[in-house]
Amino acid sequence: MPQLLMIPGSLREASSSRATVRAMEARIGDRASCVTADVGRLPHYNADTTDDPAVAAFIAQVEAADGVVFVTPEYNYSIPGVLKNAIDWASRPAYASVFKGKPCFVVTTSGGVMGGVRAQAHLKYVLNGMLARVHIGKEIIVGQANAKVKDGRLADEAVLDFIEEEMTGFLAGL
């Protein structure tokens, strides 16, 4: 069974991104083992820091995963700083990091109708720059996501069916 590292781009426990992660795990739990990273534990990126245990643990999680699933909100037309910080830690050494060749899957959420489409473009651009293997398929954006959360999980069955269809293709490629 493949191991997926789920990386929510929001620190807020009740965020639509975390609700989407929980719903995705429920949908694919019989086909993949999912672990959720806590990017909020990482210090601000500083190349002078070389021995932080939280950083080492995060990098080990990325390295151990068969695939990485990003589920992130859009902040100010891009990805949240906390997510970029985590990526920056794991992106070293440049062009030879744990992300090189790592299969990655991207989902974005937004309270607005565009579903984080700009954040999705920015995140894929960053991942491509690290030589990650970004899943090629239909883009998954969850518009008006906050209104689609019920009991801590994304509850839009049509969106979840769409996510599951794309995740099935992602899992098949691992």
What is the Cα–Cα distance from 174 to 5, expressed in whole angstroms?
A: 13
pLDDT per position as a tens digit, 74-93: 999 999 999 999 999 999 99
Q: Please state whether 30 falls in left (phi above 0), alpha (psi between -120 and 50) or beta.
A: alpha
Expressed as residue numbers, the domain containing 154 is 3-172
Count of domains in the chain?
1
pLDDT tens for each residue of 131-157: 999 999 999 999 999 999 999 999 999
Q: How far apart are CA 99 and CA 39, in angstroms?
A: 16
Cα angle 147, 151, 154 (rounded to 5 degrees) comes to 50
**DSSP single-letter state for residue 75:** B
Q: What does pTM read for this prediction?
A: 0.97
Q: What CATH number corresponds to the domain at position 105?
A: 3.40.50.360
Among residues 153, 154, 70, 148, which one has the least CA distance to residue 112?
148
